[in-house]
């Protein structure tokens, strides 16, 4: 008797990979169908499926699940994800039909960057297992008995968009009774062919899927030139547009997506990366006509945009004819922050919109141009991600992506994970992602296995950093990318400073992780390395007379990473505040690394007024300047025209600057994990009220429940309401006095006199 498979991978061992004969596909998204009969009543049924590059499945004409763009991208020659669905309610005794449509996705992305980006043509493997009430079992697998045809999607590419010809729809193709042998279908449907597997192992997708998250209505619609309608969605985001139209057959409607407008009101696609990708984000829909209103949205692409140029629309364009569909990985929300200062609320929204716009199975750099998982961008935003989303599985998957790049690169990470673009060998300050992210994951979620799983990779990265170091300093790296200036390369902070500070941070993490995992010799060695790095920094880069390492970024990082000379912390913070307030007239000089720590360093050392003033600055370089220029998400840079002219227009939805968002949670609200008691088993509550901010309401959903920190500072009274989850304890520290309290699980209200 054949043993019953217990998991999806075992189920799929029964099946074959199938595809459509390539000369017949002609770039169309192929359709696959199989009719079958179930002889008895159904107790349960599950479908294990992997359609590459991405798939939509149907049973008896009904969509299976609510996922989009499944499965998430991986390095397919190392591992490929399959998806499990409970399909019990979609099946019935008697005749049934399973249909699948395949898109190119990342698997067959051969239009942008290089032709060899493709792993092959679309292919499918699936097993349907049905347990019947009579105790028997029915199994359907993909094999050469499946039929295939061209679908109405005539081409699709994640960068360039989707073309859909509704006249080519075959009504009922995924339902019972659709006879592929009938004369009108026989010339369109063919036998599937057995194709090679993608090469990697099959793993079940355990991260939350991508979904359509919410809908956005247009803010305005205008017609800057005859026949060109421009829709402003009012928000930069990732996803696509849904249209509703009534038009004659053959009417071609073109949607072109952009983040910006020219002065004449026409869309400007430059920031979406045309200079780099050679393509624009364009969807086309050809109407089938002859009936009621047609509703369409793409299924195998996504865009980063705020504006849509629509050409070919028949007659007036009503506002309800276009809907923005927000699409990203469906992570549960894990945190929120509000206060009476609308600028701070706006900057929190911008960081959040930017981050969520770049969650598509991995943390990407932008949703329009590159769509790559750059390691540096990821490690700078991961803590903010942990504060705002329940991302344990998502970030575990990304760490797995980094590990597969190690396999492909002889043991060290590549700049980008996953995918064939790779970006080459990772620079030291990007490579540290394989140390920083596992540690942050462990601290936030308390899963020691994450450190055990990645320990070898962490050791490999650390050994490489040591091999590059010279007398305790790490002179290599991209540095404080996109600080104010005319290029991406840092102007204010030498890369040796940022790289060495990260080197020191990694050495400290390795010492703590080694001790935790029982590698005592490694723990002692890395502790000595921390001391050596600190001594080298102080000897070569610290100006004791002026109490500075020479820049806002270097001072902020030294303070927050624990590399300030002992006893000099407040003096460095005072110097930092003076530099921001006086030398640079309340402007930042930081790039993506410094912005991660600047506001925390100022506020925690008594200069919250300077931090708040920087947030309220409206002239260049500042976040306020970007807002004044229409930003609803964070840009890749500070908006310099010289950068656009030299290097091509930059992305307007780029999360690498979003690290400042930690400040809202770990400093203003004061919610911080304790690395000694990971997963918030014990945690710190230490809010830092700043002058002019009357109250803060914030929460974070940790593994044990919701932590709440709501405070008011009004009329000489500080009132603080706290919630501590069951099974945890909070170490609270009150502002001004430094009074410490140990708070047990439950709700607490603390009232003190404020200065």
pLDDT in tens, 42-60: 999 999 999 999 999 999 9
- Gap between the Cα atoms of 303 and 162, Å rounded: 11
- Gap between the Cα atoms of 556 and 596, Å rounded: 9
- Gap between the Cα atoms of 222 and 236, Å rounded: 18
pLDDT at 184 over 90: no
Are 496 and 509 in a shared domain? yes
Residue 2: its pLDDT value, please? 43
Judge whether 587 lies within some domain. yes
Judge whether 3 lies within some domain. no
Query: In sequence order, what E strands does 313-420 have?
Result: 322-329, 335-338
- CA-angle at 585, arms to 580 and 589, nearest 5°: 50
So which residues are the catalytic ones? 370, 636
- Token pair 């110097």 in the structure block, residue: 575
Other CB atoms within a 10 A radius of the CB of residue 82 amount to: 23
**Listed residues 174, 207, 240: the one ending a domain:** 207
Instruction: Provide φ and ψ at 322, rounded to 5°.
Output: -130, 130
Are 97 and 143 in a shared domain? yes
Give the tens place of pLDDT for each residue, 147-158: 999 999 999 999
pLDDT at 409 over 50: yes
CA 563 to each of CA 438, 481, 505, 557: distance values in angstroms, whole numbers, following the listed order: 22, 21, 9, 8
Residue 6: its pLDDT value, please? 65
Are 199 and 292 in a shared domain? no
Judge whether 350 lies within some domain. yes
Could you tell me if 321 and 243 are in contact, meaning their C-beta atoms sit under 8 angstroms apart?
yes
CA 551 to chain centre: 30
Q: What is the mean pLDDT of residues 403-424?
A: 94
- Token pair 């723990």 in the structure block, residue: 523
Q: Which pair of tokens denotes residue 277?
A: 């990708």
- Gap between the Cα atoms of 363 and 436, Å rounded: 15
Are 660 and 529 in a shared domain? yes
Are 340 and 322 in a shared domain? no
Are 145 and 243 in a shared domain? no
Phi-psi region of 366 (alpha: psi -120 to 50; beta: other; left: phi over 0): beta
Q: What is the mean pLDDT of residues 736-754?
A: 97
Cα–Cα nearest to 56, from 302, 254, 298: 298
Could you tell me if 681 and 704 are in contact, meaning their C-beta atoms sit under 8 angstroms apart?
yes
Are 32 and 145 in a shared domain? yes
- Gap between the Cα atoms of 522 and 504, Å rounded: 15
Judge whether 677 lies within some domain. no
Say if residue 432 is preceded by a cis peptide, omega within 30 of 0: no
Least confident window among 183-192, 511-520, 545-554, 662-671: 183-192
User: What is the three-class DSSP state of 83?
Assistant: strand
Judge whether 118 lies within some domain. yes
Question: What is the torsion angle, in degrees rounded to the nearest 10, for the CA atoms of residue 241, residue 346, residue 588 and residue 621?
Answer: 50
pLDDT at 4 over 70: no
Are 228 and 199 in a shared domain? no
Could you tell me if 128 and 86 are in contact, meaning their C-beta atoms sit under 8 angstroms apart?
no
Q: Which pair of tokens denotes residue 644?
A: 């656009």
Looking at every residue in the chain, the average pLDDT score rounds to 97
Range of the domain at 196: 8-159+166-207
CATH number, domain at 86?
2.60.120.260
Q: What is the mean pLDDT of residues 174-194?
A: 87
In total, the chain counts a number of residues equal to 755
Give the tens place of pLDDT for each residue, 560-604: 999 999 999 999 999 999 999 999 999 999 999 999 999 999 999
Strand pairing category for 252-258 and 220-225? unpaired
Residue 381: which H helix or E strand, with range? Answer: helix 375-388
Give the tens place of pLDDT for each residue, 69-80: 999 999 999 999
- Gap between the Cα atoms of 227 and 425, Å rounded: 48
- Gap between the Cα atoms of 325 and 297, Å rounded: 9
Q: What is the mean pLDDT of residues 422-441?
A: 97
- Gap between the Cα atoms of 696 and 710, Å rounded: 6
Are 325 and 347 in a shared domain? no
Are 415 and 510 in a shared domain? yes
pLDDT at 5 over 70: no
Are 311 and 349 in a shared domain? no
Are 22 and 150 in a shared domain? yes
Could you tell me if 678 and 393 are in contact, meaning their C-beta atoms sit under 8 angstroms apart?
no
Residue 1: its pLDDT value, please? 33
Give the tens place of pLDDT for each residue, 452-494: 999 999 999 999 999 999 999 999 999 999 999 999 999 999 9
Residue 683: its pLDDT value, please? 99
**Listed residues 329, 353, 375: the one ending a domain:** 329
pLDDT at 319 over 90: yes
Find the distance separating the first CA and the last CA of the chain, reported in whole Å.
79
Q: How confident is the model at residue 419 (pLDDT cuts 50, 70, 90)?
A: very high
- Token pair 């901010």 in the structure block, residue: 693
Give the tens place of pLDDT for each residue, 341-374: 999 999 999 999 999 999 999 999 999 999 999 9
**In total, how many domains does the chain have?**
4
Q: What is the mean pLDDT of residues 180-193?
A: 84
Judge whether 674 lies within some domain. no
User: What is the three-class DSSP state of 465?
Assistant: helix
User: What is the three-class DSSP state of 674?
Assistant: coil
Residue 63: which H helix or E strand, with range? Answer: strand 62-63
User: What is the three-class DSSP state of 561?
Assistant: helix
**Listed residues 298, 329, 360: the one ending a domain:** 329
User: What is the three-class DSSP state of 612?
Assistant: helix
């Amino acid at each position: 008797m054949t043993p019953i498979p217990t998991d999806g991978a075992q189920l799929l061992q029964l099946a074959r990979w199938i595809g459509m004969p390539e000369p017949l596909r002609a770039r169309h998204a192929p359709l696959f169908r199989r009719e079958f009969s179930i002889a008895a009543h159904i107790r349960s049924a599950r479908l294990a499926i992997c359609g590459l590059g991405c798939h939509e499945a149907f049973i008896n004409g009904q969509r299976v699940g609510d996922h989009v763009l499944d499965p998430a991208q991986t390095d397919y020659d190392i591992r490929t994800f399959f998806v499990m669905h409970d399909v019990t309610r979609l099946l019935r005794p008697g005749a049934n039909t399973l249909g699948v449509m395949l898109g190119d996705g990342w698997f067959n992305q051969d239009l942008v960057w290089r032709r060899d980006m493709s792993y092959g043509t679309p292919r499918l493997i699936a097993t349907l297992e049905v347990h019947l009430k009579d105790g028997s079992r029915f199994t359907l697998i993909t094999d050469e008995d499946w039929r295939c045809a061209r679908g109405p999607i005539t081409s699709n590419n994640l960068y360039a968009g989707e073309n859909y010809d509704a006249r080519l729809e075959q009504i009922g193709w995924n339902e019972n009774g659709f006879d592929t042998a009938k004369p009108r279908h026989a010339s369109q449907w063919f036998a599937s062919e057995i194709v090679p597997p993608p090469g990697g192992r099959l793993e079940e997708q355990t991260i939350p899927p991508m979904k359509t998250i919410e809908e956005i209505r247009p803010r305005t619609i205008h017609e800057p030139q005859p026949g060109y309608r421009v829709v402003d969605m009012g928000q930069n985001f990732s996803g696509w547009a849904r249209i509703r139209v009534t038009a004659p057959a053959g009417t071609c409607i073109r949607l072109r997506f952009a983040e910006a407008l020219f002065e004449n009101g026409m869309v400007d696609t430059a920031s979406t990366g045309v200079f780099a990708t050679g393509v624009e984000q364009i969807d086309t829909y050809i109407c089938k006509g002859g009936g009621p209103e047609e509703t369409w949205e793409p299924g195998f692409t996504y865009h980063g945009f705020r504006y849509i140029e629509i050409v070919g629309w028949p007659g007036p364009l009503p506002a309800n004819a276009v809907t923005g569909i927000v699409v990203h990985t469906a992570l549960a929300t894990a945190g929120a922050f509000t206060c009476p200062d609308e600028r701070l609320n706006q900057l929190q929204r911008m960081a959040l919109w930017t981050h969520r716009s770049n969650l598509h199975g991995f943390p990407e750099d932008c949703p329009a141009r590159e769509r790559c998982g750059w390691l540096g961008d990821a490690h700078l935003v991961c803590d903010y991600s942990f504060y705002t989303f329940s991302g344990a599985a998502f970030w575990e998957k990304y760490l797995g992506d980094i590990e597969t790049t190690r396999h492909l690169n002889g043991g060290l990470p590549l700049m980008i994970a996953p995918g064939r673009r790779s970006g080459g060998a990772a620079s030291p300050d990007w490579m540290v992602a394989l140390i920083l992210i596992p540690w942050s994951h462990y601290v936030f979620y308390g899963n020691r296995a994450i450190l055990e799983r990645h320990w070898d990779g962490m050791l490999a990265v650390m050994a490489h950093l040591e091999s590059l170091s010279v007398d305790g300093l790490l002179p290599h790296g991209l540095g404080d990318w996109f600080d104010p200036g005319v290029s991406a390369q840092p102007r204010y902070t030498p890369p040796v400073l940022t790289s060495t500070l990260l080197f020191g941070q990694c050495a400290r993490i390795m010492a703590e992780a080694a001790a935790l995992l029982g590698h005592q010799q490694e723990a002692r060695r890395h502790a000595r390395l921390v001391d050596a790095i600190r001594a080298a920094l102080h000897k070569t880069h610290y100006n004791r007379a002026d109490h500075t390492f020479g820049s806002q970024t270097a001072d902020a990082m030294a303070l927050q990473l624990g590399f300030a000379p002992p006893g000099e912390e407040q003096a460095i913070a005072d110097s930092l505040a003076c530099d921001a307030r006086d030398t640079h007239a309340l402007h930042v000089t930081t790039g993506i690394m410094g912005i991660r720590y600047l506001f925390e360093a100022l506020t925690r050392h008594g200069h919250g007024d300077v931090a708040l003033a920087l947030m309220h600055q409206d002239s260049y370089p500042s976040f306020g300047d970007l807002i004044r220029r229409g930003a609803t998400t964070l840009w890749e840079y500070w908006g310099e025209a010289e950068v656009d002219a030299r290097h091509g227009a930059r992305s307007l939805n780029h999360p690498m600057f979003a690290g400042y968002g930690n400040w809202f949670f770990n400093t203003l609200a004061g919610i911080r994990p304790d690395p000694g008691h990971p997963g918030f088993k014990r945690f710190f509550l230490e809010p830092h009220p700043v002058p002019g901010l009357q109250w803060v309401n914030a929460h974070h959903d940790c593994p044990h429940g919701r932590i709440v920190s709501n405070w008011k500072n009004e009329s000489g009274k500080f009132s603080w309401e706290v919630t501590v989850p069951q099974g945890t304890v909070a170490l609270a520290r009150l502002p001004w006095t430094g009074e410490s309290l140990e708070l047990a699980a439950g709700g607490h209200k603390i009232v003190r006199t404020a200065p």
